[in-house]
């Protein structure tokens, strides 16, 4: 099919621009790449929260787009536990504490609780429940901070 191929070519070109490398054959995740990827996802989450934070500060009205943005947080939360496999504690600078790997089950639990919280945030946003959204936003912020306290070294 034509369309997917041209899309791939475009994506490939973009990847080369950003990372300065070619597209290799499918390979297992290399730890440095995985560390980079999980940090980028976290930065995205931070930016998403910062955008909603403008609303929380009362500087803009509620935006219908918050629902989809919260769904992006759901996607991140869903993948998070799998982005810290054994061995990805090195290979690139990482702030993941040793406990992420030593207590992988507890870490997984923390990612699942984030998933529940942001799923609720998305539901409230979709329903246009502003009061509920505001309260849940605070819950999510606490969830981020709680996990960082436990599992992330100071940045």
One residue of 63, 95, 132, 134 binding ligand HEC per CB under 6 A: 95
Stretch that binds ligand HEC, among 4-12, 19-27, 34-42, 126-134 (CB under 6 A): 34-42
The pair of three-digit structure tokens given for residue 8, joined into one six-digit string = 């791939």
- Shortest reach from residue 9's CB to ligand HEC, in Å: 30
Q: Applying CB under 6 A, does 44 fall inside the site for ligand HEC?
A: no
Token code pair at residue 39: 């940090």
Three-state DSSP class for 20? coil
DSSP lists the bridge partners of residue 105 as: none
Q: What are phi and psi of 65, to 5 degrees?
A: -65, -15
Contact window for ligand HEC (CB under 6 A) among 9-17, 23-31, 52-60, 94-102: 94-102
Q: Which residue among 52, 70, 96, 124 contacts ligand HEC (CB under 6 A)?
A: 96
Considering only residues 121 to 140 of the shown chain, the ones binding ligand HEC according to CB under 6 A are: 140
Please give, one letter per residue, the 3-state secondary structure of 57-100.
CCCCCCCCCHHHHHHHHHHHHHHHHHHCCCCCCCCCCCCECHHH
CA 72 – CA 41 distance, rounded (Å): 10
Q: How many CB atoms lie within 10 A of CB 83?
A: 18
Cβ proximity to ligand HEC: between 80 and 124 the closer is 80
- Which residues here bind ligand HEC, judged by CB under 6 A? 35, 38-39, 42-43, 45-46, 49, 73, 80, 94-96, 100, 107, 110-111, 114, 140, 143-144, 147-148, 151-152, 155
């Amino acid at each position: 099919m034509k369309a997917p191929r041209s899309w791939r070519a475009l994506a490939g070109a973009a990847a080369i621009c950003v990372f300065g490398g070619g597209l290799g054959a499918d390979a297992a995740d290399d730890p440095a790449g995985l560390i980079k990827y999980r940090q980028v996802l976290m930065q995205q989450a931070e930016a998403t929260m910062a955008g909603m934070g403008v609303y929380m500060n009362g500087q803009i009205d509620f935006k219908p787009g918050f629902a989809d943005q919260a769904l992006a947080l759901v996607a991140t939360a869903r993948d998070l536990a799998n982005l810290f496999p054994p061995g990805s504690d090195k290979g690139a600078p990482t702030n993941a504490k040793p406990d992420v790997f030593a207590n992988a089950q507890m870490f997984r639990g923390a990612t699942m609780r984030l998933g529940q919280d942001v799923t609720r945030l998305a539901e409230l946003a979709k329903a246009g429940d502003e009061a509920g959204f505001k309260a849940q936003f605070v819950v999510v912020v606490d969830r981020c901070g709680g996990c960082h306290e436990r599992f992330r070294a100071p940045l």
